[in-house]
Chain A
């Protein structure tokens, strides 16, 4: 077993020990909480979307190194990028995770996914795939929640009432419990989506 064959590439260990974009920002458009029920990996994430781009993203979480490192690597890739590009990267990473070790990574994909390609080996271990996907699913959910919230705020802005929740005066959080089948891979992560 050479270092290159190991699932635990140095990048993964580094991101696990020093995760990027840790911490929940005070200003945010949506917060999500995702969990892998079978192993207890969890992540809480807040995003801010400005002019269709992820202007801010912060997270806290705990769990296995794959889940935490993958989340950290993901944040480096998407912060500052337009939402559409973040979703494309999400789709690419998902493809990689479904590849069962058979992926042929083109130069374009390698360039786009950057450090995230180091998780390629995870695709050989079905039990770990949802660990690697946890942060990506949270990001996707957070961005979607931010978009929903923006639409709702826009609608209420036209009919202002004193019960409008605003960033300065949050109303009681509206929580929806949904079960997300992680890209049809047969596992479920439970998500709590808070919008404000």
Chain B
């Protein structure tokens, strides 16, 4: 069932806003998505009617809050086709979830029973050249902490990975391969199956950064085959402050904790402490309860629309945008130019005009895009540019908005 985008837009209150006296054209969903009213209502309703802390209280509100929180966990588990709800961990955002893994791996050095995760000199950690800093810097730091070697699969000129390098860079010394599913800067969708196959050959743990893929295509963690998948709620039409890590239960059960405190313990004594089973082992302190409820409502919303329908809609918009943008003289797309194995994010440069100026002028026409290195500075370094302008789309993006973007860029060119 195709997306009725006009009906969808009515679900998002912010889309009726004006900016500088003209209608908002929001083309920055890769940065954060807008929120449907049902998500806002779910969070307000939680605070107004069911608010309490989770897991601790024996009173009615406490059990309502716990049910609300844990049913959000069930919804996410179903959404990802996770084998078990105990494999869904909630945190603050995906950056925190990736750091969770990086720090749990290094905590393994001092945790009896976690030898399989220990890293040291001679071991290798592999990422790709197109990673967002949140799936790059934590691994650099892990390498630093443990003496392991940090390596990456390089980018080709066309915005995709050098595929032959997959089997070269991933080798017998590789212990961890952490890679992005869909690049936030280039839009490129990576060959997950090929990377997973090679990593399995050498016995490496695989981690998938799903920040830009989970909101835009159906995700089945069992089909994907990686050991971990992480994503963030605020890019999936949910609130900020909620990230999700899915992990294979047998791995989570053997991983030492990251953050310590209440909730993640079994028993605590001054002489020593034992830890809860996953997922709670990795959820120290009061979790983002209302945020999880909001995420659950967002998951319900996109599930009702159908992630495959959302993907089909965005594919149309992306193809339309690639065509339209390439009619602009002096505009160069950074990343794949064909609508194949690429998602609804397009980075570009305009000859002679700095991305900040492009983005600033577009703002004056009501158009919101992003300019800079998009937390993927190695991508800009690789393609020899200081920054790009980036337009990114979502379930509510229309072809009229793409027309406005192209027209806006032409106007910017006239001024400069």
Q: How far is the CA of A6 from the CA of B386 in the complex (A)?
A: 25
Tell whether, in the assembled complex, residue B360 and residue A7 are in contact, meaning their CB atoms are under 8 Å apart. yes
Classify chain B: how many residues form its interface, as a range.
10 to 19
Contacts of B359-381 to chain A: CB distance below 8 A: 360-361, 364-365, 371-373
Task: Indicate which residue in A5, A17, A64 contacts B354 across the interface (CB closer than 8 Å).
Answer: A64
Tell whether, in the assembled complex, residue B356 and residue A66 are in contact, meaning their CB atoms are under 8 Å apart. yes
Q: In this complex, what residue of B is CB-closest to A2?
A: B21
Does A38 sit within 8 A of B, measured CB to CB?
yes
A169 to chain B, nearest CB (A): 36
Chain A CB within 10 Å, residue with most, of B22, B355, B386: B386
Tell whether, in the assembled complex, residue B356 and residue A1 are in contact, meaning their CB atoms are under 8 Å apart. no
Q: How far is the CA of A131 from the CA of B365 in the complex (A)?
A: 21
Q: How far is the CA of A79 from the CA of B406 in the complex (A)?
A: 42
Tell whether, in the assembled complex, residue A125 and residue B372 are in contact, meaning their CB atoms are under 8 Å apart. no
Known: A1-B22, A39-B387, A40-B387. A128 touches B416 (CB 8 A): no
Tell whether, in the assembled complex, residue B360 and residue A13 are in contact, meaning their CB atoms are under 8 Å apart. no
Contacts of A144-159 to chain B: CB distance below 8 A: none
Tell whether, in the assembled complex, residue B372 and residue A128 are in contact, meaning their CB atoms are under 8 Å apart. no
Main secondary structure of the interface of B (DSSP, over half): mixed
Q: In this complex, what residue of B is CB-closest to A16?
A: B416
Tell whether, in the assembled complex, residue A66 and residue B21 are in contact, meaning their CB atoms are under 8 Å apart. no
Q: How far is the CA of A65 from the CA of B21 in the complex (A)?
A: 24
Q: In this complex, what residue of A is CB-closest to B353?
A: A65
Chain A residue contacts of B20, Cβ below 8 A = 1, 5
Interface string of A1-35 (1 = CB under 8 A from B): 10001111000010011000000000000000000
Q: How far is the CA of A177 from the CA of B361 in the complex (A)?
A: 34
Tell whether, in the assembled complex, residue B415 and residue A8 are in contact, meaning their CB atoms are under 8 Å apart. yes
Interface string of A108-142 (1 = CB under 8 A from B): 00000000000000000101100100000000000
Task: Indicate which residue in A7, A39, A66, A127 contacts B386 across the interface (CB closer than 8 Å).
Answer: A39
Does A63 sit within 8 A of B, measured CB to CB?
yes
Chain A CB within 10 Å, residue with most, of B354, B355, B373: B354
Interface string of B48-77 (1 = CB under 8 A from A): 000000000000000000000000000000
Chain A residue contacts of B372, Cβ below 8 A = 38-39
Tell whether, in the assembled complex, residue B21 and residue A40 are in contact, meaning their CB atoms are under 8 Å apart. no
Chain A residue contacts of B21, Cβ below 8 A = 1
Q: In this complex, what residue of A is CB-closest to B360?
A: A7
Q: How far is the CA of A78 from the CA of B146 in the complex (A)?
A: 53
Interface string of A57-94 (1 = CB under 8 A from B): 00000011110000000000000000000000000000
Residues of B within 8 A of A (CB): 20-22, 353-357, 360-361, 364-365, 371-373, 386-387, 415-416
Given A1-B22, A125-B360, 20 additional A-B pairs, CB 8 A: A1-B20, A1-B21, A1-B364, A6-B364, A7-B364, A8-B360, A8-B361, A39-B356, A39-B372, A40-B387, A63-B386, A64-B357, A65-B353, A65-B354, A65-B416, A66-B356, A66-B357, A127-B356, A128-B360, A131-B356
